[in-house]
Structure 1
Amino acid sequence: MFKKLGVLLIIGLLVLVACGEEDQEPIESEEAASEETEQEEIGDHLLSEIQEAGEITVATSGTLIAASFYDDDDELTGYDVEVMKEIGERLGLDVQFEVMGIDSMLPAINSGRVDVAINDIEATDSRREQFNFSEPYKYSYSTMVVRESDYSGIHSLEDLEGKRAGGGATTIYSQIAEHFGAEVVTYGNASNEAYLSDVSNEQTDVVVNDYYLSTFGVAAFPDFDIMIHPDLKFHPTEQAIAMPEGEDELTEAINETLDEMREDGTLSELAINFYEEDASTEPEGEIEEIEGLDL
């Protein structure tokens, strides 16, 4: 009798435990749904704020020849700048540029100092975990600026080991240089001339950077002992506009505008105007992928 009673009590407890677990599931589900709703409300309001203000604040460097720079009339221009101006016009917004170093741009988005950033920024997997990105407005790949007289002793990516590479502290290009053993020398928001003159006078050995930007940088200083490395094409890239994480409405609005600009030829026209090539389309030819690079 006591044995039967013990069995019944155990069964009863198991039933209670099972019922308790079933009763808790709807409560947990409701809490999760509530948290998701709150996150959506917190993280997707920037577009309406921008529209209400009638302007969008954009971080850029003003020191990147062909992408973001000051012309002879001291006007901010470049492919990236004009792409952003066109987006603003089509969305009915004034575009206010905040000039800053590349290393400050993504933190400025997080702090709310700026709404978006455009400065030849590569949309890597790790960055996508922290920010929203538009569709690419530019496709390119990486190359090196080296001394014309001696190639800076670099004939392969592996030859970067032990070299001094000029670059921004947080750029993908500096990560590539470090990946192959180079020492990165940082400059802040310096002009192209500072980076390239240091390669020429052997203060540094190399600048790893975007193909289009490097080509125009070298052409701007014909008296320097520098050139684009003729044999090295690596790390294909996609440049996009960076925005705060979760701002999907703003991302969609910018993407729709970029699609319009691509379809009506505006993106190609702007790219050819500044780069003399259509950087809005993917480059042809074989471009080396870098294995083991965590970006």
Structure 2
Amino acid sequence: MKKTLTVLAAAVFVTGIFSCKKAGEEDLLSRIQKKGKITIAMEGTWAPWTYHDEKNELTGYDVEVGKKIAEKLGVEAEFVEVDWDGIFAGLDSKRYDISLNGVEITEERTLKYDFSEPYAFTHTALIVKKGDDSIKRFEDLKGKTTTNSLGSTYAEFAESYGAKVVTIDSFEETLQLVEHGRADATLNDNATFYYYQKIKPENPFKAAVLTEEASRVAVPMRKGEETKKLLEAVNKAIEELKQSGELARISEKYFGADLTK
């Protein structure tokens, strides 16, 4: 009987070891802090969110916010540039820990991903060429051709109004298609468009209309127990950046406005 109890106790002890190991493996925050870096996916082609400056260095609102979040977690930020449609695929395959790329919270996305608290709020702008009065509201998109990144909320939004969407890689390219008549319009966030107007005041575009309701921009990550502690840590970091005024300062730097409220 004593021998049986000893064997049983040993089995319980071994099981406990493997259980602890498994729990550690499921904790993404622990793994991130152990390796000393968090891998962040972004496009790198969407100014002023993520883009390359005149020195070809990666910069932008999301780049600075990403660095600040990493700092709060006690690690370095490792940025990986990828096309929009590869961001979520990379999260799924665990190539990236999180993404900062002006990602909006949508009902469909929340079914598969966990999102942090919003760190920016924007409105969708319907962008057309100056002088084009055939599109004055979103309902006018029916039967028209728009252009946006594959899988973006803007493409889905345009399709919901009956538009045919031509997919392209970057905001600059969508504007080129509109300018040369290969698309009637493009959709993007108002902050990005206002920034574009600021750096290129002679541009041939206008915002025909904006959505009334603001979109919530947040940090997506894989859903589940694996990311629970990471989500809590990212939320805490964002809240601290808001309370200190640092988040608003970064927003003012890149957008010329506080998008954090």
What displacement does 1:259 show? 0.6
Distance 2:203 2:258 in 1: 27
The residue type equivalent to 2:250 in the other structure is L
Q: Name the residue aligned to 1:107.
A: 89
1:155 is the counterpart of 2:133? no
Q: Which runs of 5+ in 1 are unaligned?
A: 1-36, 282-295
If the length of structure 2 is used for normalisation, what is the TM-score?
0.87
Say whether residues 1:177 and 2:155 are aligned partners: no
8 Å CA contact 2:190, 2:210 repeated in 1? no
Tell me by how many angstroms 1:222 deviates.
Answer: 3.7
Instruction: Please say if 1:227 is aligned against 2:206.
Output: yes
Cα distance in structure 1, aligned partners of 2:105 and 2:211: 19
8 Å Cα contact 2:148/2:187 also seen in 1: yes
CA distance in 2, matches of 1:236, 1:44: 35
Give 1:205's aligned residue: 184
Give me the whole-angstrom Cα distance separating, in 2, the residues matched to 1:274 and 1:43: 38
SS in 2 for 1:58: strand
| Per-residue Cα deviation, 1:243-282 (whole angstroms, up to 9, x for no partner) | 111111000001001111000000100001100010011x
Task: Decide whether aligned partners of structure 1 residues 202 and 218 sit closer, same or farther in structure 2, where only a CA change above 3 A counts.
Answer: farther
Deviation at 1:137, TM superposition (A): 0.4
**Which residue of 2 is the match for residue 272 of structure 1?**
252
Give the superposed CA RMSD. Answer: 1.9
Note the C-alpha offset of 1:202.
1.1
Q: Distance in 2 between matches of 1:210 and 1:43?
A: 38
**1:77 corresponds to which letter in structure 2?**
T
Alpha-carbon shift at residue 224 of structure 1 (Å): 3.6
* Cα distance, 1:105–1:200 mapped onto 2, change above 3 Å: same
State how 1:58-97 maps to structure 2 within 5 Å: 58-97=40-79
Whose Rg is larger? 1
* Residue of structure 2 equivalent to 1:34: none
Indicate conservation of the 8 Å contact 2:142/2:161, yes or no: yes
Does the CA contact (< 8 Å) of 1:177 and 1:208 recur in 2? Answer: yes
Cα shift at 1:156: 1.4
Distance in 1, matches of 2:143 and 2:199, equals 28
User: Aligned-pair distance for 1:148?
Assistant: 0.6
Deviations 1:134-164 (A, max 9, x none): 110001111111111224x201111001111
Counterpart Cα distance in 2 of 1:98 and 1:235: 31
Give the distance between the partners of 2:159 and 2:186, measured in 1 at CA.
Answer: 12
Aligned-residue identity in percent: 31
Q: Shift of the alpha carbon at 1:107?
A: 1.0
* Contact 1:43–1:245 under 8 Å retained in 2: no
Secondary structure in 1 matching 2:214: strand
Deviation digits for residues 178-225 of structure 1 (CA, Å, limit 9, x no counterpart):
00111111113x3x3211122112111111111101222344444442
Work out the CA distance in 2 between the residues paired with 1:99 and 1:74.
Answer: 13
User: Are 2:102 and 1:120 equivalent residues in the alignment?
Assistant: yes
